[in-house]
Chain A
Amino acid sequence: MTWFDAPADAATRLATAGYLADAATATTTYLAGALEKPLLLEGPAGVGKTELAKAVSRATGAELVRLQCYEGLDEARALYEWNYKKQLLRIQAANAGDSGVDWDATHDDIFSEEFLLTRPLLTAIRREEPTVLLIDEVDKTDIEVEGLLLEVLSDFQVTIPELGTVAATRRPFVVLTSNASRELSEAVKRRCLYLHIDYPDAERERQILQQQVPGLDDRIAEQLVTTVGRLRELELKKAPSIAESVDWARTLIALEIRDLDAKAITDTLGAVLKHQSDHERAVKELKLARS
């Protein structure tokens, strides 16, 4: 299966799935499908990295398999695990029956499909249907985990000592996301296409807002995008992301605010800025009256 026919095709189909991609995103997404290489997305939190993976799955009708990374994630959670409890039961059951069940048979028996618990990576590799594999926040894992990703990312296969190598029958569309809280290893990066997603330009952000928040009129969308753009230029601890401007738009609608003037901004600033010092900075720079 080809994922997308051309960059333009990627852009339109992603748009239909509710994701407005800029040119670079569309091109890179298309390439990831065409070259069958994993796609590493980096960028500030909340600019739609995870969303892109979901949109690819919606646009192509593929199922999304998600591996959420965290500190302490290990092989057993990422790849596969043997069901120890069930294996023990089997051994005990074999012993209880006593008789002449020899060890070799039991041994072969307990390392079979039946006792294998597949985790996201193996699941994605083994699926016959089109699959989007999302490895989310890969920078949160320990360095060791990158090692086990390598085999999956370059050869799309997983080696299980007891069963042998499981290779993908159909290569999944792999998306890795990272907030760059640590540098990923060269080895992982070499296997991936790389795309840095940044805050969208004003025009695209306005479109995103209007798509995500029905009932948002043009004028207020314009004002909102300008203000958010302004906030991003300040030296803030956490600059507002797309997710936050969408939240803000929803807040404004809920409060039935029709005009984003200084007072309205001050009242609702909590929806966009999440640090006290950022608030103070914004109030000072935008010359808002202190509430």
Chain B
Amino acid sequence: MSTERSDASGLLERHLAFVEALRGAGLSVSLAEDIDSLAALGAVRWGNRAMVRDAFAATMVKKQAQRTTFDALFDVYFPAMVGNGAGAEEGDEAGDGPVRDNASALVDFRDRLAEALEASQVDEAELRRMAAEMVGVFGAMPGRGPGLSSWSAYTALQRVAPQELVDRLVAGLMGEGADEEDARRRANRRIGSFTAMVEDDARRRIAEEKGPDHVAEVAVRPSIDKLAFMAARRGDLEEMRKEIFPLARRLATRLAKEQHSRHARTAPLDFRRTVRASIATGGVPITTHHRPKRPHRTDLVVLCDVSGSVANFAQFTLLFVFALREVFQSMRAFTFIDHVHEVTGHFRPGADPVDVLTDLAAATSHAALWGRTNYGRAFTKFEENHLDALTSKTTLLILGDARSNYSDLHEDALRRLTGSVKRTFWLNPEHERNWGTGDSAAPAYGEIVRMIECRNLNQLSEFVHDLAW
């Protein structure tokens, strides 16, 4: 425990810096919670790092989505060890000084890593120690002077390449009686968590060298609901997809509730029920009853760019809209690249989201005749073939980055489309500052349609909330 070594005043400063960093990362830690966290710390003491982490988490994190950020920052400000760790020196079999980075060391390390990962019960502490060793030996980037040296998880992972151990691990696990698919899954999961450990360790070392504030600023990824669609990695995408349905459900309940409570204030009085209920209170109408109101519903037409540049974004918004079917009376969805293709049929109620996405991906090929995004052509084609989808009650939703490969924009077609519907929105997954750069036609289209920046799950849910009103 490095924390025990510091003196008391240093601890308070570190705690305050930690709280600052949490706030910087978007957690709203109030003064009251800050004080609570210290009270909690008083109750558990510094003895056990896991316990300190739990106590801090209980008082300062109030949303599960923020937990990853919290954990990363906690590791940076209250590292589990310093340098190579207390036990590392005596554990080196080389005997004299730290292990040098060379080919034989690499082979030797990979063997030991494979062994550790193959064990039927994974020893977490041992793996963490190995991650530290790996970054220390293979991820060191010597600098020109003191304080300039650094560590790179990327280099370490490139050199050791734990992913290549998968087959060996699978064979090992199958030797214990697991079937192949199961073994492969477990092997991948173990290697994934080891990779995360290596990344943590590199962060920890950089923090040691350059101060935690530096790392907190540059290296901690935003929580999943604030992560930009365009910047998401594979693992993030899966996590986001798992978020979509709960998110849609949350939003639907919230909508229903808000409509309900707004309704209670504005709905006409149900006189008979109110009078009948007042009998219980001697004819005094203590509680009033109101007539139910027809829920307000929207016809939705989604026109979605599915070209490579926005593929991630398109997946999410389509899936999200699909999850929100309940809120909308009817929904039709079209995808396009340069040609328009209807995909409404894939959104069967009760369908499995994984299947829907696979089907959608397969259907995407119909949307491209020439293979390059062409908004102008897509709008004209839509007008030619699917104008019947638009009525005066329709809300038209266009999803895309408005990057049209310098082709004819056909603003007139879009203007006619928007003219025939109730309202139109355009969701753009790019940061607003990039609109209009390069081949982006965002300003031109933005004059016709209200264009809204929608880069992450948060913004998406906010938008749908406003939309459903």
Contacts and interface: CB of A to CB of B under 8 A. Distances in A.
Interface of A: 7, 23-24, 27-28, 30-31, 34-35, 37, 40, 42-43, 71, 84-85, 88, 142-144, 180-183, 186, 189-190, 192-196, 226, 230, 233, 235, 237, 275-278, 280-281, 287
Given A192-B62, A235-B352, 12 more contacts: A23-B51, A27-B58, A28-B58, A30-B43, A35-B39, A180-B64, A180-B246, A182-B250, A190-B30, A193-B59, A230-B182, A233-B185
Among A7, A192, A235, chain B packs the most CB atoms within 10 A around the CB of A235
Contacts of B62: 40, 186, 189-190, 192, 194
Contacts of A280: 352
B393 interface: no
B282 interface: yes
A235 B353 contact: yes
Interface stretch (B9-17, B82-90, B253-261, B381-389): B253-261
A27 B55 CA distance: 7
21 contacts: A23-B50, A23-B51, A24-B54, A31-B40, A31-B55, A31-B59, A35-B39, A35-B43, A71-B260, A84-B280, A88-B282, A142-B261, A143-B257, A180-B250, A181-B249, A190-B32, A190-B62, A195-B58, A277-B352, A278-B352, A281-B352
Contacts of B286: 84
Nearest to A194: B62
Nearest to A28: B58
B43 A34 contact: yes
A181 B58 contact: no
Contacts of B63: 183
Contacts of B44: 7, 27, 30-31
Contacts of A196: 64, 67
Contact of B61 (A23, A30, A37, A194): A194
Contact of B282 (A34, A43, A84, A195): A84
Instruction: Give the secondary structure class of A's interface.
Output: helix
A28 B54 contact: yes
The 9 nearest A-B residue pairs measured at CB: A189-B62, A27-B54, A277-B352, A34-B43, A196-B64, A193-B58, A28-B58, A24-B54, A84-B281
Given A31-B40, A189-B62, A182 B254 contact: yes
A182 B250 CA distance: 5
Interface of B: 28, 30, 32-33, 36, 39-40, 43-44, 50-51, 54-55, 57-59, 61-64, 67, 181-182, 185, 241-242, 245-246, 249-250, 253-254, 257, 260-261, 280-282, 286, 350-354
Instruction: Give the secondary structure class of B's interface.
Output: helix
Among A23, A34, A194, A195, chain B packs the most CB atoms within 10 A around the CB of A194
B19 to A, nearest CB: 14
Given A27-B58, A71-B260, A190 B33 contact: yes
Contact of A235 (B242, B250, B261, B281): B242
B260 A237 contact: no
Contact of A142 (B51, B257, B280): B257
Contacts of B39: 35
B282 A186 contact: no
A1 to B, nearest CB: 16
B43 A85 contact: no
A110 to B, nearest CB: 13
A281 B249 CA distance: 21
Nearest to B354: A235
A284 B213 CA distance: 48
A229 to B, nearest CB: 10
Nearest to A141: B257
B352 A186 contact: no
A132 to B, nearest CB: 18
Contacts of B282: 84-85, 88
A43 to B, nearest CB: 8
Contacts of A276: 350
Contacts of B352: 235, 277-278, 280-281
B258 to A, nearest CB: 9
B54 A35 contact: no
B261 to A, nearest CB: 6
A286 to B, nearest CB: 9
Nearest to A184: B62
Nearest to B61: A194
Nearest to B251: A182
A180 B185 CA distance: 30
Contacts of B246: 180
A144 B261 contact: yes
Given A85-B280, A193-B59, A71 B257 contact: yes
A89 B249 CA distance: 48
Contact of A31 (B58, B185, B353): B58
Contacts of A181: 249-250, 253
Given A194-B58, A277-B352, A85 B281 contact: yes
A88 B282 CA distance: 7
